[in-house]
Amino acid sequence: MSRADWDAVRANPIVGVGRPTATAVRIVHRLIGPIVRLLFRPQITGLEHLPTDRPFLLVANHSAGLGIAEILSFVWLYLDRVGPERPLTALAHPEGFRIWPLSAIHRQLGTIPSTYAAAADALSQGVPILVFPGGGYETQRPIWQANRVDFGGRRGYVRIAREAGVPIVPMAIRGSHYTAPILFRARWLAYALLLPRLLFGEKRWSVSLLGLLGALGLMLSDLWLPLRIALTCVWLGSPLIFLPIVPASVRFRVGPPVALDALGEDVDAMGQRVEAEIQALLTPRKD
Protein backbone atom coordinates (compact mmCIF):
# COMPACT_ATOMS: atom_id res chain seq x y z
CA MET A 1 0.00 0.00 0.00
CA SER A 2 1.12 3.54 -0.69
CA ARG A 3 1.38 6.12 2.08
CA ALA A 4 -1.78 7.79 0.72
CA ASP A 5 -3.67 4.49 0.96
CA TRP A 6 -2.39 3.97 4.51
CA ASP A 7 -3.55 7.45 5.55
CA ALA A 8 -6.97 6.82 3.98
CA VAL A 9 -7.34 3.62 5.98
CA ARG A 10 -6.49 5.42 9.19
CA ALA A 11 -9.15 8.03 8.41
CA ASN A 12 -11.88 5.40 7.88
CA PRO A 13 -11.37 2.61 10.45
CA ILE A 14 -13.49 -0.53 10.55
CA VAL A 15 -15.58 -0.69 13.72
CA GLY A 16 -15.39 -3.69 16.06
CA VAL A 17 -12.11 -5.14 14.79
CA GLY A 18 -10.89 -7.96 17.02
CA ARG A 19 -13.57 -7.39 19.62
CA PRO A 20 -16.06 -10.27 19.88
CA THR A 21 -19.56 -9.42 20.99
CA ALA A 22 -20.87 -10.46 24.40
CA THR A 23 -23.08 -13.02 22.64
CA ALA A 24 -20.09 -14.54 20.87
CA VAL A 25 -18.13 -14.79 24.11
CA ARG A 26 -21.03 -16.58 25.83
CA ILE A 27 -21.40 -19.03 22.94
CA VAL A 28 -17.68 -19.77 22.95
CA HIS A 29 -17.57 -20.41 26.71
CA ARG A 30 -20.84 -22.33 27.04
CA LEU A 31 -21.11 -24.24 23.76
CA ILE A 32 -17.85 -24.33 21.83
CA GLY A 33 -15.63 -24.79 24.89
CA PRO A 34 -17.20 -28.08 26.03
CA ILE A 35 -17.18 -29.45 22.47
CA VAL A 36 -13.53 -28.71 21.70
CA ARG A 37 -12.42 -29.92 25.15
CA LEU A 38 -14.18 -33.22 24.51
CA LEU A 39 -13.06 -33.75 20.90
CA PHE A 40 -9.71 -31.98 20.59
CA ARG A 41 -8.36 -31.45 24.15
CA PRO A 42 -6.59 -28.24 23.03
CA GLN A 43 -3.55 -26.86 24.83
CA ILE A 44 -1.46 -23.75 24.22
CA THR A 45 1.99 -22.74 25.41
CA GLY A 46 4.11 -19.64 24.91
CA LEU A 47 1.42 -16.99 25.36
CA GLU A 48 4.01 -14.93 27.22
CA HIS A 49 5.65 -14.25 23.84
CA LEU A 50 2.68 -12.19 22.64
CA PRO A 51 3.64 -8.49 22.82
CA THR A 52 1.39 -6.39 25.04
CA ASP A 53 2.71 -2.96 24.07
CA ARG A 54 2.12 -2.99 20.30
CA PRO A 55 0.20 -4.80 17.55
CA PHE A 56 1.73 -7.79 15.76
CA LEU A 57 1.04 -10.54 13.25
CA LEU A 58 0.49 -13.97 14.78
CA VAL A 59 1.48 -16.23 11.88
CA ALA A 60 0.62 -19.93 11.97
CA ASN A 61 0.49 -23.05 9.83
CA HIS A 62 -2.98 -24.13 8.71
CA SER A 63 -4.42 -27.64 8.65
CA ALA A 64 -7.31 -30.03 8.24
CA GLY A 65 -9.42 -29.12 5.25
CA LEU A 66 -11.58 -26.28 6.55
CA GLY A 67 -9.41 -25.76 9.64
CA ILE A 68 -12.47 -26.01 11.89
CA ALA A 69 -10.79 -27.98 14.68
CA GLU A 70 -7.88 -25.58 15.09
CA ILE A 71 -9.91 -22.40 14.61
CA LEU A 72 -12.55 -23.31 17.19
CA SER A 73 -9.87 -24.57 19.57
CA PHE A 74 -7.83 -21.39 19.28
CA VAL A 75 -10.85 -19.10 19.71
CA TRP A 76 -11.81 -20.88 22.92
CA LEU A 77 -8.24 -21.00 24.23
CA TYR A 78 -7.58 -17.32 23.53
CA LEU A 79 -10.79 -16.10 25.15
CA ASP A 80 -10.29 -18.45 28.09
CA ARG A 81 -6.57 -17.82 28.72
CA VAL A 82 -6.16 -14.24 27.50
CA GLY A 83 -9.68 -12.84 27.49
CA PRO A 84 -11.68 -10.53 25.23
CA GLU A 85 -10.06 -7.50 26.90
CA ARG A 86 -6.99 -8.01 24.68
CA PRO A 87 -8.41 -7.80 21.13
CA LEU A 88 -7.14 -10.10 18.41
CA THR A 89 -8.59 -10.29 14.93
CA ALA A 90 -7.98 -12.75 12.10
CA LEU A 91 -7.84 -12.59 8.32
CA ALA A 92 -10.59 -14.57 6.59
CA HIS A 93 -11.53 -15.12 2.95
CA PRO A 94 -13.40 -12.03 1.66
CA GLU A 95 -16.19 -14.17 0.17
CA GLY A 96 -17.16 -15.25 3.67
CA PHE A 97 -18.24 -11.70 4.47
CA ARG A 98 -20.83 -11.83 1.69
CA ILE A 99 -22.40 -15.19 2.50
CA TRP A 100 -24.75 -15.80 5.44
CA PRO A 101 -24.24 -17.27 8.05
CA LEU A 102 -20.46 -16.78 7.67
CA SER A 103 -20.95 -13.01 7.44
CA ALA A 104 -22.82 -13.00 10.76
CA ILE A 105 -20.13 -15.13 12.42
CA HIS A 106 -17.40 -12.77 11.23
CA ARG A 107 -19.28 -9.78 12.64
CA GLN A 108 -19.76 -11.50 15.97
CA LEU A 109 -16.08 -12.42 16.28
CA GLY A 110 -14.64 -9.21 14.85
CA THR A 111 -12.64 -10.88 12.08
CA ILE A 112 -11.64 -9.00 8.91
CA PRO A 113 -11.34 -9.83 5.19
CA SER A 114 -7.90 -10.87 4.00
CA THR A 115 -7.02 -7.65 2.18
CA TYR A 116 -4.10 -5.28 2.62
CA ALA A 117 -6.48 -2.42 3.45
CA ALA A 118 -8.30 -4.34 6.20
CA ALA A 119 -5.01 -5.53 7.71
CA ALA A 120 -3.60 -1.99 7.67
CA ASP A 121 -6.78 -0.73 9.33
CA ALA A 122 -6.59 -3.27 12.16
CA LEU A 123 -2.91 -2.65 12.84
CA SER A 124 -3.42 1.12 12.76
CA GLN A 125 -5.98 0.64 15.55
CA GLY A 126 -3.43 -1.34 17.56
CA VAL A 127 -5.20 -4.69 17.02
CA PRO A 128 -2.97 -7.78 16.41
CA ILE A 129 -3.88 -10.12 13.55
CA LEU A 130 -3.89 -13.92 13.32
CA VAL A 131 -2.76 -14.97 9.83
CA PHE A 132 -2.76 -18.36 8.09
CA PRO A 133 -0.64 -17.58 4.99
CA GLY A 134 -0.91 -21.13 3.64
CA GLY A 135 -4.69 -20.86 3.34
CA GLY A 136 -6.47 -23.58 1.41
CA TYR A 137 -3.21 -24.65 -0.22
CA GLU A 138 -1.79 -25.75 3.13
CA THR A 139 -5.00 -27.19 4.57
CA GLN A 140 -5.33 -29.57 1.63
CA ARG A 141 -1.89 -31.14 1.92
CA PRO A 142 -2.03 -34.96 2.34
CA ILE A 143 -2.00 -36.53 5.78
CA TRP A 144 1.61 -37.71 5.52
CA GLN A 145 2.63 -34.04 5.33
CA ALA A 146 0.71 -33.19 8.51
CA ASN A 147 3.77 -31.76 10.27
CA ARG A 148 5.18 -29.86 7.30
CA VAL A 149 4.89 -26.07 7.10
CA ASP A 150 4.25 -24.95 3.53
CA PHE A 151 2.85 -21.51 2.74
CA GLY A 152 3.11 -22.12 -1.01
CA GLY A 153 5.42 -19.15 -1.50
CA ARG A 154 2.90 -16.63 -0.17
CA ARG A 155 4.61 -13.56 1.27
CA GLY A 156 1.82 -10.99 1.58
CA TYR A 157 1.92 -11.16 5.38
CA VAL A 158 5.60 -10.14 5.33
CA ARG A 159 4.77 -7.06 3.29
CA ILE A 160 1.97 -6.17 5.73
CA ALA A 161 4.27 -6.49 8.73
CA ARG A 162 7.06 -4.52 7.09
CA GLU A 163 4.74 -1.73 5.93
CA ALA A 164 3.14 -1.41 9.36
CA GLY A 165 6.41 -1.83 11.24
CA VAL A 166 5.08 -4.61 13.47
CA PRO A 167 6.74 -7.87 14.57
CA ILE A 168 5.77 -11.34 13.40
CA VAL A 169 5.09 -13.89 16.13
CA PRO A 170 5.28 -17.52 14.92
CA MET A 171 2.79 -20.11 16.14
CA ALA A 172 2.86 -23.83 15.38
CA ILE A 173 -0.31 -25.93 15.38
CA ARG A 174 0.07 -29.68 15.75
CA GLY A 175 -2.55 -32.43 15.60
CA SER A 176 -5.41 -30.68 13.83
CA HIS A 177 -4.54 -32.16 10.43
CA TYR A 178 -5.46 -35.58 11.77
CA THR A 179 -9.05 -34.48 12.51
CA ALA A 180 -9.90 -34.37 8.78
CA PRO A 181 -7.48 -36.75 7.04
CA ILE A 182 -6.62 -35.70 3.47
CA LEU A 183 -5.70 -38.65 1.25
CA PHE A 184 -4.35 -36.86 -1.82
CA ARG A 185 -4.63 -33.63 -3.81
CA ALA A 186 -4.20 -32.78 -7.47
CA ARG A 187 -4.83 -29.96 -9.93
CA TRP A 188 -6.89 -32.15 -12.24
CA LEU A 189 -9.44 -32.83 -9.49
CA ALA A 190 -10.49 -29.16 -9.39
CA TYR A 191 -11.30 -29.33 -13.11
CA ALA A 192 -12.69 -32.88 -13.27
CA LEU A 193 -15.17 -32.25 -10.44
CA LEU A 194 -16.13 -28.82 -11.88
CA LEU A 195 -17.52 -27.36 -8.63
CA PRO A 196 -14.17 -26.53 -6.97
CA ARG A 197 -13.05 -24.55 -10.01
CA LEU A 198 -16.35 -22.98 -11.07
CA LEU A 199 -17.88 -22.12 -7.69
CA PHE A 200 -14.86 -21.66 -5.40
CA GLY A 201 -12.12 -20.69 -7.85
CA GLU A 202 -9.81 -23.43 -6.54
CA LYS A 203 -6.85 -24.41 -8.71
CA ARG A 204 -6.37 -27.73 -6.93
CA TRP A 205 -8.61 -30.03 -4.90
CA SER A 206 -8.25 -32.91 -2.49
CA VAL A 207 -10.02 -36.08 -1.48
CA SER A 208 -10.44 -36.62 2.25
CA LEU A 209 -11.23 -39.75 4.21
CA LEU A 210 -14.78 -38.46 4.73
CA GLY A 211 -15.05 -37.74 1.01
CA LEU A 212 -13.95 -41.25 0.09
CA LEU A 213 -16.33 -42.91 2.55
CA GLY A 214 -19.24 -40.82 1.34
CA ALA A 215 -18.41 -41.55 -2.31
CA LEU A 216 -18.28 -45.28 -1.63
CA GLY A 217 -21.65 -45.10 0.12
CA LEU A 218 -23.24 -43.30 -2.81
CA MET A 219 -21.78 -45.64 -5.43
CA LEU A 220 -22.92 -48.72 -3.50
CA SER A 221 -26.47 -47.42 -3.12
CA ASP A 222 -29.48 -48.58 -5.17
CA LEU A 223 -29.91 -45.25 -6.96
CA TRP A 224 -30.00 -44.98 -10.74
CA LEU A 225 -26.40 -45.23 -11.95
CA PRO A 226 -26.16 -41.81 -13.67
CA LEU A 227 -27.65 -40.21 -10.54
CA ARG A 228 -25.14 -42.03 -8.35
CA ILE A 229 -22.29 -40.72 -10.47
CA ALA A 230 -23.64 -37.16 -10.47
CA LEU A 231 -24.21 -37.14 -6.70
CA THR A 232 -20.74 -38.57 -6.10
CA CYS A 233 -19.14 -35.80 -8.17
CA VAL A 234 -21.13 -33.14 -6.32
CA TRP A 235 -20.19 -34.66 -2.96
CA LEU A 236 -16.47 -34.89 -3.78
CA GLY A 237 -16.51 -31.29 -5.03
CA SER A 238 -18.19 -29.98 -1.90
CA PRO A 239 -16.29 -28.39 1.02
CA LEU A 240 -18.32 -30.67 3.31
CA ILE A 241 -15.81 -33.46 2.68
CA PHE A 242 -13.29 -31.44 4.73
CA LEU A 243 -15.31 -31.46 7.96
CA PRO A 244 -13.45 -32.93 10.96
CA ILE A 245 -14.45 -36.50 11.78
CA VAL A 246 -11.55 -37.77 13.93
CA PRO A 247 -11.07 -36.70 17.58
CA ALA A 248 -7.42 -35.70 17.95
CA SER A 249 -5.45 -33.56 20.37
CA VAL A 250 -4.67 -30.08 19.04
CA ARG A 251 -1.59 -28.32 20.38
CA PHE A 252 -0.58 -24.67 19.91
CA ARG A 253 2.93 -23.41 20.56
CA VAL A 254 3.78 -19.70 20.35
CA GLY A 255 7.39 -18.68 19.80
CA PRO A 256 9.33 -15.44 20.33
CA PRO A 257 8.82 -12.62 17.80
CA VAL A 258 10.93 -12.91 14.66
CA ALA A 259 13.43 -10.08 14.12
CA LEU A 260 12.65 -9.23 10.50
CA ASP A 261 14.90 -6.17 10.43
CA ALA A 262 17.95 -8.44 10.56
CA LEU A 263 17.03 -9.80 7.12
CA GLY A 264 17.04 -6.48 5.28
CA GLU A 265 14.53 -5.88 2.49
CA ASP A 266 14.41 -9.41 1.02
CA VAL A 267 10.75 -10.39 1.38
CA ASP A 268 11.34 -14.00 0.34
CA ALA A 269 14.15 -14.42 2.87
CA MET A 270 11.87 -13.04 5.57
CA GLY A 271 9.15 -15.53 4.61
CA GLN A 272 11.57 -18.44 4.64
CA ARG A 273 12.79 -17.39 8.08
CA VAL A 274 9.25 -17.29 9.46
CA GLU A 275 8.39 -20.70 7.98
CA ALA A 276 11.59 -22.13 9.47
CA GLU A 277 10.70 -20.72 12.90
CA ILE A 278 7.23 -22.29 12.76
CA GLN A 279 8.67 -25.59 11.53
CA ALA A 280 11.10 -25.62 14.46
CA LEU A 281 8.20 -25.07 16.87
CA LEU A 282 6.17 -27.79 15.16
CA THR A 283 8.85 -30.46 15.08
CA PRO A 284 8.85 -32.31 18.40
CA ARG A 285 12.04 -32.08 20.40
CA LYS A 286 13.90 -35.32 21.21
CA ASP A 287 14.98 -34.30 24.67
CATH of the domain at 57: 3.40.1130.10
Residue 200 confidence (pLDDT): 81
- 200 occurs within a structural domain: yes
Residue 243 confidence (pLDDT): 95
Same domain, 101 and 121: yes
Question: Residues 141-153: what's their mean pLDDT?
Answer: 93
Neighbouring-strand partners of residue 2: none
- 127 occurs within a structural domain: yes
Neighbouring-strand partners of residue 216: none
Q: How far apart are CA 207 and CA 248, in angstroms?
A: 20
Residue 57 confidence (pLDDT): 97
Q: How many helices (H) and strands (E) does the chain have?
A: 13, 9
CB 127 within 8 A of CB 58: no
Asked whether the predicted pLDDT for residue 225 surpasses 60, the reply is yes
Domain holding 156, by residue range, is 3-180+244-282
**Average pLDDT over all residues of the chain:** 89
Residue 70 confidence (pLDDT): 95
Q: How far is CA 269 from the centre of its chain?
A: 22
Same domain, 48 and 188: no
Q: How many domains does the chain have?
A: 2
- 268 occurs within a structural domain: yes
Asked whether the predicted pLDDT for residue 262 surpasses 90, the reply is no
- 186 occurs within a structural domain: yes
For 53-75, b/e burial (b = at least 16 CB within 10 A) is eebbbbbbbbbbbbbbbbbbbbb
CB 139 within 8 A of CB 67: yes
Residue 6 confidence (pLDDT): 44
Q: How far apart are CA 229 and CA 268, in angstroms?
A: 44
Residue 265 confidence (pLDDT): 65
Same domain, 99 and 220: no
Same domain, 62 and 146: yes
CB 238 within 8 A of CB 232: no
Asked whether the predicted pLDDT for residue 8 surpasses 60, the reply is no
Residue 66 confidence (pLDDT): 87
Same domain, 36 and 164: yes
CB 44 within 8 A of CB 130: no
Same domain, 140 and 197: no
Same domain, 47 and 186: no
Q: How far is CA 136 from the centre of its chain?
A: 8
- 76 occurs within a structural domain: yes
Residue 32 confidence (pLDDT): 96
pLDDT digit string, tens, across residues 27-78 = 999 999 999 999 999 999 999 999 999 999 999 999 888 899 999 999 999 9
- 287 occurs within a structural domain: no
Same domain, 29 and 104: yes
